Structures are given as C-alpha cells and as structure tokens.
Structure 1
Amino acid sequence: MDEQKANVRSVERALDILLCFTDATDLGLSEISSRLSLHKSTVHRLLATLENKGFLIRDVQTEKYRLGFRIWELSANLTHNDDPATLLLPEMERLRDLVEETISLYVRDGNERIRIQAVQSRQPIRRVAPIGARMPLAVGASSKVLVAYDEPHVLEQVLNDPDWPEYVNREAYVEQLDQIKRLGFATSVEERELGTAAVAVPIFNRNGQLVASIAASGPSNRLTPEKMSEYAPYIMEAAYRMGKMMK
C-alpha cells in the first residue's frame, strides 16, 4: 500500500472510531478494537492521536474514552438556519407539550433512518429516544413514512436490502405504505420494541420535497391505536408548520 492510500485508510479508521460513539457514551480500547475488528495496537495509536487533537478524552481511572470538547466546537458551527434538528426544536417542544409523549425527528440515510433530534416526554413512564440512533427502514412508523413518501427507487432499494428482516412480509409492507399515503400518517405497535408504540407523519419543505419524519412515541398501553388516531391531526399540523420553515 502506497503512502497516500495508507494515510486515507488511517483517516477512515479514525472516523470509524468516532462513529463508535454514536450509540455509546464511553468505550475502552478492547471494546473499540472488537467493534472495528482492528488490532489493539492500531486502535491505540489512533486513539492517542484523537485524544491529542481533543476529539476524545480518556478517563485515567477507567481507561475509557469519551467524546472531547473539539466535537462540540465543531457542532457549534453548524449552519443553524439549515439544520432541522435546531430549527424545528421549538415546534417539537410545543408538540410534546400538546400530546404529552416523546417527539422524535428522523431523516433517511440509505437503508436506515437516523434520529437527529428528540424531545423527551415529561410523563413518569416514557419512551427515551437517544439522538443519533440508527434504525432499519423495514419496521417502525417513521421508517414507513420515510419510504412511503420518497421516490419509487427508494422502496425498491429497501425491499432488496440483504438485511431485510425475515419476519416482515414484503407484500404486507407495501400495502401498509399505500395505506399511509391515503391516511397521511403511519402507526406502529411493538414493531421494534416490546411495549412501545408510535405515530409518525412526513415533513415536506416549501418546495414539496420530503425532508424528514416527525413522530410521537410512548408506552403502547397509553399510546393506543385510538390515541394515535386522535393525535395524528395535531402532528400533521405541526409538520405543516415545520415544513414552511424549511427551504
């Protein structure tokens, strides 16, 4: 491998290390090495570089790493006018107070959806929605919304995903998408997690383009099908206001 390719590979591996922290607060050398299937010596060298540059912080007692302040410095310079996670937060908080359930904002990335913002319910028993979580598009109310209202090639791409779960019937899935487009919203009950339910609607920008999905989620014994149908118009109204805020 020539020097240029080696340098590119090192950058890729360093970024892979940072991405390990999308679903974990702190990780040790062995955990990161196992996740990336890399030798500990290689990971140790990259961790030292990331720590030196301020992207990671090492706890001297536990020998575990967590994201450093340099990450937050970078995020502070996001263009907030174009960032839906920031721009739509006040509307999400207003919706949370209206339906009293956790509100999440999702975008599609390939054959996954990513939660880019969340406002937790104030209920004692609530759905906790971590920001940055990735989920498949085969199940879940927001997943089906993001596929139903996107271009036809997205549906084909999702249906042909080699990681499509065997327990999900493709024909039934397509029928659900047709129903979602007729109703204007999607619901799910215990499709991903036992005891949870969600209702989701699409967000279109001022040009009519699908940009995200907004969902209310909570315990399935409280967020019943009847309640979800009751809340759907409120969420659709909020989504309409959100869309008018986006270019």
Structure 2
Amino acid sequence: MEDAKLTVRAVERALDILLCFRETTDLSLTEIAARVDLHKSTVHRLLASLEGKGFVIRNAATERYKLGFRIFELSANMSQSNDPEVLLLPEMEKLRDLIGETVSLYVRDGLERVRVQAVQSNQPIRRYAPVGARLPLYVGASSKVLVAFAESNIEAHVLQAADWPAWLDRQAYAQQLHETRELGFATSIEEREPGAAAIAAPIFNHAHKLVAAIAVSGPANRLTAEKMREHAPQVVEFASRMGAMLM
C-alpha cells in the first residue's frame, strides 16, 4: 500500500512539472523546482523520466527544458467533434473581424476561469490574450457571466471564497451578477488590469446549460462603455449562434 502511495505521488509530481509549462515555453531545473516546491534532485529524477518518454526536451547547451513532441502526439488524438475551443473558432474569427478586437473563450474550472481559445485583434495596439491563462472569478466581464448563469450554488461559493479580495465589496459584486442576468451580458472597464475593457455573453448548449463565456476585449480608450453598449447585441447574437452549434 505504501509503495502504491509513493507511485501515485510520483505521478502527481510529474504532472505538476508538466503544468509548469502552461504559461512559458522553457524553464530551468531551478525554476521548475521552485514552482513545484520540490528539491532539485527530486525534480531532476522526474525530468529524466519525462525526457525518456518524450514529454520534455532538455537543451544540453542551456540546461533548460521545454515540452516534448509526445505532448503534441497526445493532443492530436483529442476528440474535437464537439470541443467548443475547436468548433467555435470560425465564429470567433468572424466576431473578431466584425468588431475588430480580441475575442476569447472562457470556461469555469472550480473557482477560476480558464481561457481555452483566443483570436487576437489585428490592430497594432491590442490586448493580447494567452490561451491557458487562469483568472479569478470575482472580477472581469467573462467572470460575471460564468458565475451569473451557472448553477445557483456557484455564486454562493464565489462570494464565500476565503481569498475574496478585501478591496471588493461582495454586495456590489452580487448586484453586478443580478444586472448581468437581467441584461444577458456583462461589461468591465479596468477591473482586472489598467487600460483594458471587455464585454462578455454566455454560451448555452441545446439543454440550456452554460458551457462557456465569449468575451471581446481591447483598450479601454477604444472599447468604451458606449461602444460596448453598441456591440452588446452582436456579442449576444454570436453567443447564441455558438450555442446552437453545441450538443
């Protein structure tokens, strides 16, 4: 039994190492060890195993690691028949071309939102949206959508979260969720980062279950409150069309 626990723990640690590459392309042994909070000798052994199986590649000259081709082999065999990030990409590109700003697709994972797809704006000054980024649910247009239209217990969990920021009023946030449900969309201006604004709408499948949030984001001086009100019907319409494509 003890050996089984050690084996499972080793697998968990190896997966934690792979997850270090969500937001960067290459890391050193020291950087990985710091991120997973393990001794370098332990990380070195796990990296050697991952390298042997092709999941990571070590650059002998720089002593830095990056994801190996085995990862791409696995991702190529993922079912894409009804994956929103694949199926909805053409519609996201159309919405980007219509409004001219970056379009992102978010899903809720616990008490966070994850950007699973993005189509970058073609404008010289734009808001870059990296796929895979994890963000809190208590701020931002897409967060409001993912909470407002989720099961009723999700809102309670978010409002009661232990890491709720002291600067954010819970009642004010709850009121924003109510307004989001009333309007059918949400907006944000410089809520998460200075100079950025966004508008988001919910995507429901055929069973009227919330699947994701579609968001249009850009510089606040270009995506003003007035502009977002103008674009709201378009974003809601595209969200409805995307939902009709999902099972």
If the length of structure 2 is used for normalisation, what is the TM-score?
Answer: 0.98
> Which amino acid in structure 1 is aligned with residue 174 of structure 2?
V
> Which amino acid in structure 1 is aligned with residue 138 of structure 2?
A
Q: Take 1:40 and 1:50, find their aligned partners in 2: how far apart are those partners?
A: 15
Q: Take 1:68 and 1:192, find their aligned partners in 2: how far apart are those partners?
A: 33
2:217 corresponds to which residue? Answer: 217
Give the secondary structure class of the aligned counterpart of 1:116: strand
> Which amino acid in structure 2 is aligned with residue 128 of structure 1?
Y
Displacement, 1:109?
Answer: 0.3
Displacement, 1:193?
Answer: 0.8
Give the secondary structure class of the aligned counterpart of 2:74: helix
Tell me, yes or no, if structure 1 residue 180 matches structure 2 residue 180.
yes
Displacement, 1:221?
Answer: 0.6
1:158 corresponds to which residue? Answer: 158
Displacement, 1:123?
Answer: 0.3
Displacement, 1:40?
Answer: 0.3
Give the secondary structure class of the aligned counterpart of 2:121: coil
2:142 corresponds to which residue? Answer: 142
Q: Take 1:203 and 1:106, find their aligned partners in 2: how far apart are those partners?
A: 10
> Which amino acid in structure 2 is aligned with residue 135 of structure 1?
L
Displacement, 1:67?
Answer: 1.1
> Which amino acid in structure 1 is aligned with residue 86 of structure 2?
T
Q: Take 1:243 and 1:94, find their aligned partners in 2: how far apart are those partners?
A: 15
Give the secondary structure class of the aligned counterpart of 1:208: coil
2:232 corresponds to which residue? Answer: 232
Q: Take 2:46 and 2:202, find their aligned partners in 1: how far apart are those partners?
A: 40
Report Cα offsets for 1:174-225 as digits up to 9, x if no partner. 0000001111110011111111110000000011000000000001110000
2:21 corresponds to which residue? Answer: 21
Structure 1 runs, 4 residues or longer, greater than 3 Å off:
none
Q: Structure 1: give runs of 5+ residues left out of the alignment.
A: none
> Which amino acid in structure 2 is aligned with residue 166 of structure 1?
A
- RMSD (Å) for aligned C-alpha atoms: 0.8
Q: Take 1:163 and 1:65, find their aligned partners in 2: how far apart are those partners?
A: 33
2:112 corresponds to which residue? Answer: 112
> Which amino acid in structure 1 is aligned with residue 3 of structure 2?
E
Q: Take 1:61 and 1:188, find their aligned partners in 2: how far apart are those partners?
A: 46
Report Cα offsets for 1:78-124 as digits up to 9, x if no partner. 11112111000000000000000000000000000000000000000
Q: Take 1:195 and 1:52, find their aligned partners in 2: how far apart are those partners?
A: 45
If the length of structure 1 is used for normalisation, what is the TM-score?
Answer: 0.98
Q: Take 2:4 and 2:177, find their aligned partners in 1: how far apart are those partners?
A: 46
Report Cα offsets for 1:33-56 as digits up to 9, x if no partner. 111110000000001111111111
Matches within 5 A, 1:1-247: 2-247=2-247
Q: Take 2:15 and 2:107, find their aligned partners in 1: how far apart are those partners?
A: 21
Displacement, 1:68?
Answer: 1.1
Displacement, 1:60?
Answer: 1.7
Q: Take 1:181 and 1:62, find their aligned partners in 2: how far apart are those partners?
A: 52
Q: Take 2:56 and 2:230, find their aligned partners in 1: how far apart are those partners?
A: 45
How many equivalent residue pairs?
Answer: 247
Give the secondary structure class of the aligned counterpart of 2:113: strand
Displacement, 1:65?
Answer: 0.9
Q: Structure 2: give runs of 5+ residues left out of the alignment.
A: none
Indicate the percent of aligned positions where both proteins have the same amino acid. 64
Q: Take 1:35 and 1:128, find their aligned partners in 2: how far apart are those partners?
A: 24
